[in-house]
Structure 1
Amino acid sequence: MNVIPISRPGRKLGTVSVPNVTLAHGGGGKAMKDLIDDVFISVFNGSGPDALEDQARIDLLGLTKLGDRVAFTTDSFVVDPLFFPGGDIGKLAICGTINDLAVGGAKPLYISCAAIIEEGVSVDLLRRIARSMAETAQAAGVRIVTGDTKVVHKGACDKVFLTTTGIGVIADGINLGVDQARPGDLVLVNGLLGDHGAAILGARGDMALDSPIVSDCAALHELIARLLQAAPHTRAIRDATRGGIATVLNEIADASGVSISVDEEHTPIRPEVKGFCEILGLDPLYLANEGKLVAVVPPDEAGAALLALRSDPLGRDAEIIGEVGEGESGRVTMHTVLGGVRIVDMLVGEQLPRIC
């Protein structure tokens, strides 16, 4: 494994003098060192322990001061295109990893990143991705502490794939889980749904939109901390990525052995998203999000939870969209604006490929 380490004072960083990545940049020699130095260390410097080793070294005492459990997650990112309105694969990787930790109640702390790079990719493109990762992590107060690079033959991957692993700490007293929803609980979302899936669709040129929709890609850990402070008995939180809120609601209903009913009138979806979903025959409930959460909250804390979400820029369009019931276990339904009721099942197949 070739680590993306942090340079010691005085260490001279290498630079890449060619415009595109070659197989030599994955060969373990000077070319690979120069690529790692130039693209990654130059922007990640100061983001982790000062060691040139094959692993990051983390102070356990510091972790235990923050909580009684370690949260650990991993994810891969293969979005197409790499850059889209509101984000890019680098920002997406950092935000996605932070959110996977935060929805479990963890404080995100450290991230590793492995990059699979296709031969021939522009070095400047890699620099843009790395800068985006570094800026996003810094803004979120999270450190990128180690990583890996591999270069594969042209055609073996699509430009750049990123795999990230995140570590966080869960404070004592926080116990969130998809199996904890109870009849009478209310279901909240923090804003407009489907924007990320719509942004990717627009960025591919599949729809000629007068006003391009911007991805909701964002780190939600501070919003979630605010939510948990206002509603400490929150049952479950999930980020609605692939499969949208429909998939998340089905997972919660199934794991908790309850039914969930949502109200279409109170489910916030941008008119533009509704419009092209109607044209393409898509269901916005299944569109991917990268900055939206679904929270299940006891009824006596739902009002405070809603106010807490709306007090944050990432939750200003938050709504209570539904309620947990005692109906058929695992069943999710929607009350439509036309007065009917429809089943909201798990996503079958794939609406949009390569969205995260």
Structure 2
Amino acid sequence: MKITLSYGGGGKETNKLINELFYKYFDNEILTKSEDAAIIEGSERLAFTTDSFTVSPIFFNGGDIGKLSVVGTCNDLAMMGAKPKYLTCGFMIEEGLEFDELEKIVKSMAEELKKTGAKIVAGDTKVVPAGSVDKIFINTSGIGEVIRPGISASNLKKGDKILVSGDIGRHGTVIMAHRYGVETELKSDCKLLWDEVKALIDAGLDIKALRDATRGGISAVLNEWSEASGVGIEIEEEKLPISDEVVGLCEIFGFEPMDLANEGTFIVAVSEKDALKAEEILKSFNQNASIIGEVTDDDKVILKSPWGTKRVIELPKGELLPRIC
């Protein structure tokens, strides 16, 4: 068996790689919780995460690989109720990359760091021969201070409500448009999410789980939650916020918006009693935020159409859009 691009897509093949290889050799009770960040043993107030970024193109509508690397790592910490504090950064740079391009990337990283107050406190740089990497790859690790402990994908119970913080599929659609040379004014949703998460925490809501819907989109998140909590999830199709531009481009190229990556949109599960308040808070940041469904006692993720028909939403399969984040 050979590793194909589909193994990096965030869907079924990625889960197979994680569960059947990495967990086999790196098995421990922290790692196998499969959260966006690990709560460090002996200090429940610290969260730790790492990520690597290989987006192509490295500059896109709404951001670049530098902004993406800071946003992606800080958002993973935020999804565990942790305020981003310290980051490390490793650059793998292809020989021949223009210095001006590298400076633009580093500058955008600095701008995002200022917004959240986090600092890059250690790093590493490798320059490799032309053709070894595609222009630049970035790895970032982050440590955050846990403000709201107990958030986990395994917390969901029947009756909990599922919300999305904004319209879905933007980042994946923008990258797709760049790849196919399609002109569009659509911008990636790439942004920091800590302010929205903190607003939910400050309101004292019963937050069960948080997850930014990156590779594999909300389809992957909902399936991972369903498996982790041993529950079903039913989503109302008409409640899913999707822009006309995303719908149109997905129809042209044959993609499902629920499978496409987001870089500034997250899913949150809260107790039923707090759902309307959570929606109100999220709408103050993005009017497209919406309650999209609820947790059931089934074991599948179901999409219910406006006409009452239902279909199972599975983990994305195959090579969807590689090199997107």
Scaled by the length of structure 1, the TM-score of the pair is 0.77
CA distance in 2, matches of 1:268, 1:311: 15
Q: Determine which of 200, 218, 226 is the counterpart of 2:191.
A: 218
Do structure 1's residue 339 and structure 2's residue 308 form an aligned pair?
Answer: yes
CA-CA distance at 1:224 after TM superposition: 0.4
| Alpha carbons of structure 1 residues 182 and 108: separation in structure 2 relative to 1, 3 Å | same
CA-CA distance at 1:232 after TM superposition: 2.8
**Which residue pairs with 1:187 in the alignment?**
162
Q: For residues 1-356 of structure 1, what are the structure 2 equivalents within 5 Å?
A: 68-171=44-147, 174-204=149-179, 206=180, 208-209=182-183, 211-312=184-285, 315-327=286-298, 329=299, 331-356=300-325
CA distance in 2, matches of 1:344, 1:300: 26
Name the structure, 1 or 2, with higher relative contact order (CA <8 Å, separation 6+).
Answer: 2
| Alpha carbons of structure 1 residues 151 and 104: separation in structure 2 relative to 1, 3 Å | same
CA distance in 1, matches of 2:62, 2:319: 23
Q: Deviations over 1:164-214 (max 9, x none)?
A: 00000113x52100000000000000111000001111122x1534x4210
CA-CA distance at 1:352 after TM superposition: 0.8
* Structure 1 stretches of at least 4 aligned residues deviating more than 4 Å after TM superposition: none
CA-CA distance at 1:280 after TM superposition: 1.5
Which amino acid in the other structure matches residue 259 of structure 2? Y
CA-CA distance at 1:337 after TM superposition: 3.1
3-state SS of paired residue (2:238): helix
CA-CA distance at 1:339 after TM superposition: 3.2
Is the 2:45–2:149 Cα contact (8 Å) retained in structure 1? no
CA-CA distance at 1:68 after TM superposition: 4.5
Which amino acid in the other structure matches residue 323 of structure 1? E
Is the 1:202–1:213 Cα contact (8 Å) retained in structure 2? no
CA distance in 2, matches of 1:71, 1:215: 27
Is the 1:118–1:155 Cα contact (8 Å) retained in structure 2? yes
CA distance in 1, matches of 2:156, 2:237: 21
Scaled by the length of structure 2, the TM-score of the pair is 0.85
Percentage identity across aligned positions?
A: 46
Q: In terms of mean alpha carbon deviation, does 345-354 or 287-296 score higher?
A: 345-354
Give the paired residue count. 283
Q: Deviations over 1:197-242 (max 9, x none)?
A: 01111122x1534x42100000001110101222531100000000
| Alpha carbons of structure 1 residues 230 and 194: separation in structure 2 relative to 1, 3 Å | same
CA distance in 1, matches of 2:182, 2:228: 40
CA distance in 1, matches of 2:236, 2:110: 40
Is the 2:44–2:149 Cα contact (8 Å) retained in structure 1? no
3-state SS of paired residue (1:227): helix
RMSD of aligned alpha carbons: 1.3
Task: List gaps (5 residues or longer) in structure 1.
Answer: 1-66
Which amino acid in the other structure matches residue 242 of structure 1? R
